[in-house]
Amino acid sequence: MDMHTPAETWQVGIVGYGEVGRILAEDLRAQGLAVAAYDLKLAGPQAAELLEHAGLRGVTCAASHAELAAHADFIVSAVTASQTLAVARACAAGIRPGTWFLDFNSASPGAKIEAAGLIDTAGGSYVEGAVMTSVPPYRIKVPLLLGGPLAEVFCPLLNQLGFAAKVASSKLGVASATKMCRSVMIKGLEAMVIESFTTARAYGVEDALLASLTETFPSINWEQQGAYFFQRVIEHGRRRSEEVREVAVTVRDIGLSAWSADGTALRQAWVADLADAGLFGNKGEAGFARSTDWRVEADCILAQAKEGKAQ
């Protein structure tokens, strides 16, 4: 592929057809671009749901990574952090020379550098991406940092498609390091809120806790923020825990012990385990209560704790 082919004519391939992949597919299809998708779940029990979504939006479902890569001018890898290298390796087997490969995943700088080597060796054009906040509120315009030797060339092409990208560095790993350091705080705060609020609920001091937090941080609506954190971790705790394991790798790579990141990964995975076990009920689209009151979820956790099933 000619690297200067107009972006609006690209054939787009999306690897990972979860929440983020589907949002990107919807927004790219709305602009008339041809979009194909591949997800390992297309061979599992969620296949019908994914195929229905794709069919309604005119998204083609590929049979493999290699098939998707063989027809794409632009590939977005939007999978869980643990699959970053596996996807790069699988796409490299079929990628065409010059095909753009945007690594959208929340992986460590080291993982991004290794993924870049796989894609570049196969003839693709790798660009590191770091998504800097939650995707759903912003959709395709989520703040995105780019990195790598080709980032300056790729950025204006990507923004033609509606992305809100800017170049962090021509050096690989800088964008991801920024993301990983942010996640120490953001994912850690989510885990701390769940632990703090649930414990406060057990002792009957939740109102006093919220009042104290509001006094210290008056710009934050802790009631709403708490509910949001509970729901995001209930729904995406598995993906978040994998991301924070990459955060821990990032911390250890500079010689520090990743005490905070390791604890956050455990708490996020713990909530995911409870969600997978059906703890939070069947009230929402994805099987979660989705309550605007975090107390509903905290009470579910506490009920399990009394039976020795939650830690």
Is residue 311 situated within a structural domain? no
Residue 307 has pLDDT above 80, yes or no: no
Indicate the Cα dihedral angle 94, 11, 4, 87, nearest 10°.
-40
Same domain, 18 and 155: yes
What was the pLDDT predicted at 278? 82
Is residue 16 situated within a structural domain? yes
CATH at 43 = 3.40.50.720
What was the pLDDT predicted at 282? 47
- Could you list the residue range(s) of the whole structural domain that residue 242 is in? 179-306
Same domain, 206 and 168: no
Same domain, 167 and 183: no
Domain end, chosen from 126, 155, 172, is at 172
Domain end, chosen from 172, 194, 219, is at 172
Same domain, 64 and 101: yes
Same domain, 18 and 162: yes
SS3 219: coil
What's the whole-model pTM score?
0.87
Average pLDDT over residues 223-244: 94
Same domain, 125 and 193: no
Is residue 2 situated within a structural domain? no
Lowest mean pLDDT among 198-207, 243-252, 258-267, 278-287: 278-287
With a pLDDT cut of 90, the percent of the chain lying above it is 86
Residue 1 has pLDDT above 60, yes or no: no
CA distances from 246 to 106, 184, 277 (A): 8, 10, 25
Same domain, 229 and 256: yes
CATH at 223 = 1.10.1040.10
What's the pLDDT tens digit per position in 32-78?
999 999 999 999 999 999 999 999 999 999 999 999 999 999 999 99
What's the pLDDT tens digit per position in 116-141?
999 999 999 999 999 999 999 999 99
Contact yes or no for 47/23 (Cβ under 8 A): no
Same domain, 72 and 130: yes
Lowest mean pLDDT among 86-100, 175-189, 266-280: 266-280
What total of structural domains would you count in the chain?
2
Q: Which residue has the higher pLDDT, 274 or 192?
A: 192
Residue 310 has pLDDT above 70, yes or no: no
Domain end, chosen from 117, 141, 172, is at 172
What's the pLDDT tens digit per position in 272-291?
998 888 888 544 434 445 56
Same domain, 270 and 204: yes
Same domain, 127 and 12: yes
Same domain, 161 and 187: no
Q: How many of the other CB atoms lie within 10 Å of CB of 210?
A: 16
Task: Please tell me the distance from the alpha carbon of residue 74 to that of residue 91, in angstroms, as a whole number.
Answer: 12
Average pLDDT over residues 211-224: 97
